Amino acid sequence: MNLNDDDEHLIETLFRNGTITVVGVVLSFSLGFLTQWASNPIPWRLADLPTLVVITIGIVFQLRSLALLLQTSSLKKVVYDKASRLFLNGVIITGSGVFLAILIDTFQLVMER
């Protein structure tokens, strides 16, 4: 497939590069959160497993999005849009995992009292 097909819409390289930067920064925050959570001195429990799975799935979506954006074919609007959707879904899933972790911790604190 050729990037210069007349019937395909292309996005600006500068615009895509900005998107790659945003995806990289948010992905690094997601990975940083997971690293911080993993190095927490409080022992992990089985109740933490669903949160870990949700956050990991979100990070995988973000990684896949970055991988798509780093390909030259991401200059095609169709590929760029797919990568953007994957990224937004990854952010939503990762955020849901963080929210789930907060809910589980809060519930466990309330139950201990």
Asked if the structure places residue 6 within a domain, the reply is no
Structural domain range at position 28: 13-112
Asked if the structure places residue 68 within a domain, the reply is yes
Residue 1 has pLDDT above 70, yes or no: no
Asked if the structure places residue 5 within a domain, the reply is no
User: pLDDT digit string (tens) for 33-69?
Assistant: 888 888 878 778 888 899 999 999 999 999 999 999 9
Contact between 59 and 90 (Cβ < 8 Å): yes
Q: Residue 24: CA atoms inside 13 Å, Cβ hemisphere, count?
A: 8
Asked if the structure places residue 8 within a domain, the reply is no
Q: How confident is the model at residue 89 (pLDDT cuts 50, 70, 90)?
A: very high
What is the rounded distance in angstroms from the CA atom of residue 92 to the CA atom of residue 102?
15
pTM of the prediction? 0.85
Most confident of 3-12, 23-32, 36-45: 23-32
Cα dist from 48 to 9, 22, 29, whole Å: 44, 29, 20
From the list 100, 85, 78, 73, the residue with the least C-alpha distance to 23 is 85
Mean pLDDT of 101-109: 86
Asked if the structure places residue 74 within a domain, the reply is yes
User: How many structural domains are present in the chain?
Assistant: 1
Asked if the structure places residue 107 within a domain, the reply is yes
Cα dist from 38 to 19, 31, 70, 86, 104, whole Å: 28, 10, 29, 25, 16
